[in-house]
Homo-oligomer: A and B are copies of this chain.
Amino acid sequence: MATDSAARLNGKDVVGIAPLSPSEIQLILDTAEELLEVARRPIKKVPTLRGMTVVNLFMEPSTRTRFSFEVAEKRLSADTLNFSASASSVTKGETLFDTARNLMAMSPDFIVIRHPNTGAPHRLAKEVSASIINAGDGINEHPTQALLDAFTMRQRFKSLDGLKVVVAGDIRHSRVARSNIYLLNKMGAEVRCAAPASLLPLELEKLGVVPHLRLEPALEGADVVMMLRIQQERQGQSNIPTLREYYDFFALTPERLKFANQNALVMHPGPMNRGVEIDSAVADGEQSVILEQVTNGVAIRMAILYLLAGGRSEFPSDS
């Protein structure tokens, strides 16, 4: 493969974009490009992680991320064990620390963790010898999402350098936004955030991001428009307007999309609220790469597992 065989990630974990160097990000994206091809084979399976165990430790409900990881793990021939909050000892009052040490006592090779508390994966990574992959921690980071987003942008544009990317919606509560901002900054892209004032976090400018209170000016000259999900269950709370108002002012409609560059990509991390933050005409339109994002997510997660496994087995070939 293009990346030489000594190519490695520096740590044993991927707990966020913040700790990754630009060359590590590059390595993950390049590796994913080669692994994307596995999904097109009749036998979509390589023996890379055979005999290794991955625990999917999801302390928040999730379908698509858990699912995407599970597909990635199975394509690499790992054994997977799902451990979800509702069924777990957590309800019996055990601490994350004890749960994790107990899991470790069964010697898994990887733990993929989603947790409502910021920093849970980071703390876990220090406690255990398994490789930890952050699948979303509170409102902090969701690194595999940012990596799959970057991968999707790179499929269309030669490089992320100089790219103008709009991230719009509930920036304040979004770990997707935060990981994307970190990654795009590291790779030289220009990030603009658009949201109602109540959903724009104060520290945005410190992150080198240009804030906008309306979508239209943010879109001017944009190469990528990433719409975030509005959590309908929050509607009516002080900092979220009604869904109708939100649609009127912040939804990506065909009209608004015209403010962006003609070939601008439309992205969404899913699940979409059609008619709330995005219009169906745009979600299903020619500029949308929303489903490519999903496909790429599997490749990114395979790449991370592959790289963390550290070339313990040779590179995937038909098995």
Contacts and interface: CB of A to CB of B under 8 A. Distances in A.
Interface in A20-65: 39-45, 50-53, 61, 63-64
B270 A102 contact: yes
Interface stretch (A67-75, A198-206, A250-258): A67-75
Contacts of A102: 64, 270-271, 291, 294
A248 interface: no
A71 B82 CA distance: 11
Interface in A256-301: 270-274, 291-295, 297-298
A1 interface: no
A4 interface: no
B81 A71 contact: yes
Interface residues of A, number: 55
**Max chain B CB contacts within 10 Å: which of A42, A45, A51, A99?**
A51
A129 interface: no
A118 B291 CA distance: 26
Interface of A: 39-45, 50-53, 61, 63-64, 67-68, 70-71, 74, 79, 81, 83-84, 87-89, 91-95, 98-99, 101-107, 232, 270-274, 291-295, 297-298, 312, 319
30 contacts: A39-B106, A40-B107, A43-B50, A44-B51, A44-B52, A44-B107, A51-B319, A53-B74, A61-B87, A63-B83, A63-B87, A64-B89, A67-B83, A68-B106, A74-B79, A74-B81, A92-B232, A92-B271, A93-B271, A94-B270, A94-B271, A99-B271, A102-B270, A102-B271, A102-B294, A104-B291, A105-B293, A105-B295, A106-B294, A106-B295
* 9 shortest interchain CB distances as A-B pairs: A43-B51, A105-B294, A94-B271, A45-B51, A89-B271, A74-B79, A105-B295, A105-B291, A63-B88
